[in-house]
């Protein structure tokens, strides 16, 4: 049974605007483990695609190094024990925050 949508390497690269070798590098650096389909091709789920979008923003827009982006990801994904949001809501809030930060970056670059 399939849960959610999955994306092949070509689709992920197209959506992110990156080359496959960058995607492979980010897989290693950020411990992203895509599963393989029946043909042996790497496929990514929605959560991995969102994480890759965030990684791209941290590296390309925020100009962080890979290690700086790892530290920032750790801060963003750390869930305090006193949080009231369940797991799915927490993921949705993280996604929304990242989208808003991306929009802010676009607006700031448009002002310059």
Q: Where do the domains of the chain lie, and which CATH numbers do they carry?
A: 6-111 (1.10.1660.10)
Give Cβ neighbours of residue 19 (< 8 Å, ≥ 6 apart): 13
**What is the average per-residue pLDDT within 18-28?**
97
pTM score, two decimals?
Answer: 0.68
Host H or E run for residue 22? helix 20-29
d(CA 97, CA 94): 5
- The residues facing 8 across adjacent strands are 43
How many C-beta neighbours within 10 Å does residue 90 have?
14
- Beta-sheet pairing, 6-8 with 35-36: unpaired
- Confidence class for position 3, pLDDT limits 50, 70, 90: low
What is the pLDDT at residue 88?
60
Q: Is the pLDDT of residue 22 over 60?
A: yes
% pLDDT > 90, the chain: 58
């Amino acid at each position: 049974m399939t849960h959610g949508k999955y994306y092949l390497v070509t689709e992920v690269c197209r959506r992110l605007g990156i080359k496959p070798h960058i995607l492979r590098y980010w897989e290693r650096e950020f411990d992203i483990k895509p599963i393989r389909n029946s043909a042996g091709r790497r496929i990514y789920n929605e959560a991995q695609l969102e994480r890759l979008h965030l990684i791209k923003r941290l590296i390309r827009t925020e100009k962080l190094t890979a290690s700086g982006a790892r530290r920032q990801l750790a801060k963003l994904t750390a869930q305090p024990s006193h949080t009231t949001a369940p797991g799915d809501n927490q993921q949705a809030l993280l996604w929304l925050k990242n989208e808003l930060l991306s929009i802010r970056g676009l607006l700031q670059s448009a002002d310059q």
